[in-house]
Structure 1
Amino acid sequence: MNLLILLLRRSRGFVALAVCFGLMTGAASAGLIAYINDVLARGGGLADRGSLLGFATLGVLMLGARVGSQLLLTRLQTNTTFALRDQLSQRILATPLRRLEELGTPRLLATLIDDVQAVTQGLLCVPPLLINGGIILGCMTYLAVMSRMVFAALLVFALLGAVSYLLPLRHIMGLLRDSRQTNDRFFGDLRSLTQGLKELKLHEGRRKAFLLQELFPTAQTLKQLQQRVSSLHALTTSWGMSLFFFFIGLLLFALPGFTHVPATTLVGYTLAVLYLQQPLDASMTLLPMLGAGTVALRHIEALALVPAESGPLATTPLAPPVAPARIDLVGVTHAYRRDSEDLPFTLGPIDLTLRPGEILFIVGGNGSGKTTLAKLITGLYAPESGAVHVNGQPVTDETRELYRQHFATVFSDFHLFDSLLGLAEGGRADKVRAYLTRLQLERKVRIDAHGALSTTDLSTGQRKRLALLTAYLEDRPVYLFDEWAADQDPLFKEVFYRELLPDLKAAGKAVVVISHDDRYFDVADHLLRLESGAISAAPSHRETEASA
């Protein structure tokens, strides 16, 4: 999809009106050249009142049409750019999590930052290109009426210039695509640079290897691609523009030797060709930016994100989740390919049941599939086989969004927002203060009337407590904690297992805990152990005590 089609999708009427204004600009420009040529042919001097009025009318018409076209297309470009950002954000949120994980954070960041910026710059090129196109069309029409024979010669030169420009342009587009793919790798390297600062600072050999083998080579490749694009564009543009001066030279010195050409025609063609130089030069300068925007737009479409029409803001508001009597996973499986592994990792088939007022511990070694199972339980992943049932009813693609609203979670890779985002409104202020005190954060964090946090610059354990506060305020039927206690001190770890989890159970919540803390397994009503993606038969801690 190109940028003009994107504008047409936003408003065909605006584009059509802007094109009409552009054509009027071209017609007025051609008329002005005709008036100037006529005055020069008569030797200059004052013209009659009618000629002056016509010249002034065409000047005002050209100015008005140019301004009108520019304003219309600029407004449309601005609206389209912001709509693209909004829709892209919605599409990311509506796309299945697994697909987003496959794309990777660097590619998504490059799309949100560079691709949207490139599309914006490309859209900025559309208004002047359409206006210049109208001017070129108007002038070419005037030249065709003035002399068909000379116009035929001009067409030959124009065709030669177009071919000599478009052939390298195809190569430039290929370089732009390569540059865009290299940019994804560069964003990945920058992410490693910012997130691996401690590791890079503490190991000189790793730091040098990262710079010399990863970051610098990628940056050098990106620089070379961009330099080649700039060099090729400069050469092709200069060559294309020089053809016009060659044509003027032939028109003035060679053509009169073969056939009689009136002086008025020579002057008119010289004026028109010189006048055409500016819009043609501007258009050729803008085309690579337009091409980069088109490449970026195609890259956005290649992400295969869910259309914005099915995004979260496009759906009707969901009703508050009702505590289910039970949630069943029946024969659920999920497969994915891990990095540096040839064979896919398969989780399942898994059978388990969640009930209100019960605590389930999921345990197992690293890489056993615990977090993947948590994403299946919460509806972030759709099972590849098997089904999830709520009170005996299967969860489908149409009801999965509603199903996800049953869960309050704190994953191991959680994100902490700078605000409670509406969870502290109304009469919840007292509850927020009580939770802060219970989580031993009342001296660290303050929350204003709008739910904004005074700081999130805390230790990992304290940040997890703030995330737990958010989960408490959500007040969902099911709570899931992924290695929540791993970063807590021994005292608060005891509070979590011996006080907070039993309180949630007493409140009728179904609780799922991923944990390695075997000393607290007695808290669980059920224990599910995973090994290499499969359930390993293991009785709960309470069952073991009962049989002793």
Structure 2
Amino acid sequence: MKLIFSLLKNSRLKFFFAIFLSALSAVTGVAVIAFINDVIGKLSVGEELSFSILTFLLLILFLFFLTFFSQSLITALGHKVVYELRLSISRRLMNTSVERIDQLGQPVIMATLTNDIAAISKAFNSLPFVVFGISVIFCSYGYLLWLSIPFFIATMIMSAFSIWIGRKLMIISRGYKKRVRDNDDSLYENYQAMLQGRNELKLSQERNTFFYQEHLEPTAEYTRKLDTKADRMIVLNGSWINTSVLLVIAVVVLMHVQFSIGTIEQVTGYVLAVLFLRSPMAGFVGSLPSLIQGAIAFSKVKTLALAEEDEHQTKQFSIAENWQVLNLKGVEYDYTTQNDDIGFSVGPIDLTINQGELIFWVGGNGCGKSTCARLLAGLYQAHRGTIEFSGEMINQDNLGWYRNHFSVVFADFYLFKNLINEEGKIPDTKLVTHYLDKLALNNKVTVKEGLLNTTELSQGQRKRLALLLAYLENRSIIILDEWAADQDPAFRRTFYTELLPELQARGKTIIAITHDDHYFHLADKVYRIDAGKIFQINKQNQQSTWKST
């Protein structure tokens, strides 16, 4: 119920109205049973029947429409809730810091966006059967109480025992399903490894076999065993509920035959009512697994600790055209291990960047260059130290404004097919054609209505497309992470001797992470990053200093 009311917080009136209609349909169903029982009773004593077939048919028709409308309303609410949940989780993910997303990892997030939302959707799709089943159960029990108090007491005792057994089985099943969901993250991690490591797996049969036998198969087998055990409990519970319904009938008949309790009309009414209960109760019990998995999925979503919903992504920021100086003072960042111990640390970083400068960062693999870039662009928030930009101290309130001054092409960049300018609109076609020509992509890519026809290119060409997106965004600061590493020698020279000087001439501030030491003389400043520390290389001796290290 916590899952239902948490997600239906904006539609509770409609939900309660649907429950009312379900209850009314259940009352109508019981009225049909009572009508039939009354007819049977009169026939058994030879009384003349004084009822209209038309009245009976209208009653059944009314039951049909009530059931249809109540369940349709709940179904529509369920689909609306799932739709809003998808958008809500997407908005929360888009508002969540890059740092938190990196910590969670893609397999965990993808499992949430696929398995968890699908489970919650399935839970709401089963909601009409649950609501109708509960309504019928309560109304039928009221009718049974009206028919015979002794029979009702026996029914309640049997029901309490059945519910106790069923609850135990559901708890066991829920435990198995929760372990299955926890294992899904590992399963998605294996799927990701299988796809991203396809080249390595294809080249090495030994690695291929080891990965399959030691990782993929055991993880999938663990899920199979847990799912089998959980579903076995669910099947056992369904069988037990059906059996308990028949046991109730047996007890009622036994009480009448052995102890002369109740009349034959009461026994007949009881049998009809209990048999009428079987179908809604089976639907209710059959829906419990979906509700259980939905509740587990909802709990899993909450454990992600995503950002709260807001409208940050729709805010418009006024860009500082003349920001002059960007200062980082004592900026530090700590990575944590799985045991929450401090691992690799970056900083303290003391760095001054003047508007319009061309700066090179150099350093070995794993030295912290990309982390420094993320800290500089505001994608990671420093644990210690301050960032001052255009005379403003950067904090949580103005972080979005600060980030909007940056365009970044990381080594793990993603290419969107839609081209937009600094106003978020389709850019001028002539400008796009000009940049495509400058990046030597005019024979590889075409653009129609701001949409790239393809991104399936070589890595070097894809990086040029990423630079095209940065050109069109027209941001003040551009960070390029090993951009030239995948370019051919001719275009690499073009990049350093033509593209970067042109960007600088347009007033752009450029931080290029690079290893191309023979172009260092073109930079205004060169910094070396080593073990998370950053320091400036003397410009006059920068080439010899770098080569000597």
Shared fold (TM-score, shorter chain, > 0.5): yes
CA distance, structure 1, for counterparts of residue 201 and residue 297 of structure 2:
32
Given the alignment, which residue of 39, 42, 48 partners 2:50?
Answer: 48
The CA deviation string for residues 62-109 of structure 1, in whole angstroms up to 9 with x for no partner, is: 223212211211111111111111111111010011111111000001
User: What residue is the counterpart of 1:17 in the other structure?
Assistant: 17
Q: CA deviation at 1:376?
A: 0.6
Question: What stretches of structure 2 of length at least 5 have no aligned partner?
Answer: none
User: What residue is the counterpart of 1:165 in the other structure?
Assistant: 166
CA distance, structure 2, for counterparts of residue 529 and residue 38 of structure 1:
94
CA distance, structure 2, for counterparts of residue 421 and residue 101 of structure 1:
26
CA distance, structure 2, for counterparts of residue 421 and residue 232 of structure 1:
54
Q: Aligned pair 1:405/2:404, yes or no?
A: yes
Check conservation: 2:419, 2:427, Cα contact below 8 A.
Answer: no
Check conservation: 2:256, 2:263, Cα contact below 8 A.
Answer: no
Change in CA separation of 1:541 and 1:496 when aligned onto 2, cut-off 3 Å: farther
CA distance, structure 1, for counterparts of residue 321 and residue 399 of structure 2:
14
Q: CA deviation at 1:56?
A: 4.1
State how 1:53-68 maps to structure 2 within 5 Å.
55-68=56-69
CA distance, structure 2, for counterparts of residue 264 and residue 461 of structure 1:
86
Change in CA separation of 1:455 and 1:186 when aligned onto 2, cut-off 3 Å: same
Change in CA separation of 1:262 and 1:541 when aligned onto 2, cut-off 3 Å: farther
Q: CA deviation at 1:422?
A: 6.1
Question: TM-score when scaled to structure 2?
Answer: 0.95
Moved over 4 A (4+): 51-54, 338-343, 421-427, 541-546
Q: CA deviation at 1:528?
A: 1.4
Q: CA deviation at 1:236?
A: 1.6
Q: CA deviation at 1:54?
A: 5.1
Q: CA deviation at 1:498?
A: 1.1
Number of equivalent positions: 542
State how 1:373-388 maps to structure 2 within 5 Å.
373-388=372-387
Range with bigger deviation, 355-364 or 180-189: 355-364
CA distance, structure 2, for counterparts of residue 225 and residue 75 of structure 1:
33
CA distance, structure 1, for counterparts of residue 210 and residue 520 of structure 2:
44
Check conservation: 2:517, 2:543, Cα contact below 8 A.
Answer: no
CA distance, structure 2, for counterparts of residue 425 and residue 345 of structure 1:
41
State how 1:252-271 maps to structure 2 within 5 Å.
252-271=253-272
RMSD value, Cα: 2.1
The CA deviation string for residues 292-350 of structure 1, in whole angstroms up to 9 with x for no partner, is: 0111111111101011235524xx33334534211111111110036899651111110
Q: CA deviation at 1:204?
A: 1.1
Q: CA deviation at 1:57?
A: 4.6
CA distance, structure 2, for counterparts of residue 274 and residue 70 of structure 1:
22
CA distance, structure 2, for counterparts of residue 427 and residue 183 of structure 1:
42
The CA deviation string for residues 426-446 of structure 1, in whole angstroms up to 9 with x for no partner, is: 661101101111111111100
CA distance, structure 1, for counterparts of residue 293 and residue 363 of structure 2:
49
Letter paired with 2:393: P
CA distance, structure 2, for counterparts of residue 100 and residue 243 of structure 1:
49
State how 1:296-335 maps to structure 2 within 5 Å.
296-313=297-314, 316-335=315-334
Q: CA deviation at 1:367?
A: 1.1
User: What residue is the counterpart of 1:515 in the other structure?
Assistant: 514
The CA deviation string for residues 26-64 of structure 1, in whole angstroms up to 9 with x for no partner, is: 111111111111001111798424x65653453233223
User: What residue is the counterpart of 2:293 in the other structure?
Assistant: 292
Question: What stretches of structure 1 of length at least 5 have no aligned partner?
Answer: none
Letter paired with 2:443: R
CA distance, structure 1, for counterparts of residue 312 and residue 147 of structure 2:
57
Change in CA separation of 1:263 and 1:427 when aligned onto 2, cut-off 3 Å: closer
Q: CA deviation at 1:146?
A: 0.9
CA distance, structure 2, for counterparts of residue 245 and residue 340 of structure 1:
55
User: What residue is the counterpart of 1:187 in the other structure?
Assistant: 188
The CA deviation string for residues 382-411 of structure 1, in whole angstroms up to 9 with x for no partner, is: 111111111221011011111111011111
Check conservation: 2:426, 2:450, Cα contact below 8 A.
Answer: no
User: What residue is the counterpart of 1:143 in the other structure?
Assistant: 144
User: What residue is the counterpart of 1:155 in the other structure?
Assistant: 156
User: What residue is the counterpart of 1:415 in the other structure?
Assistant: 414
Check conservation: 1:323, 1:477, Cα contact below 8 A.
Answer: no
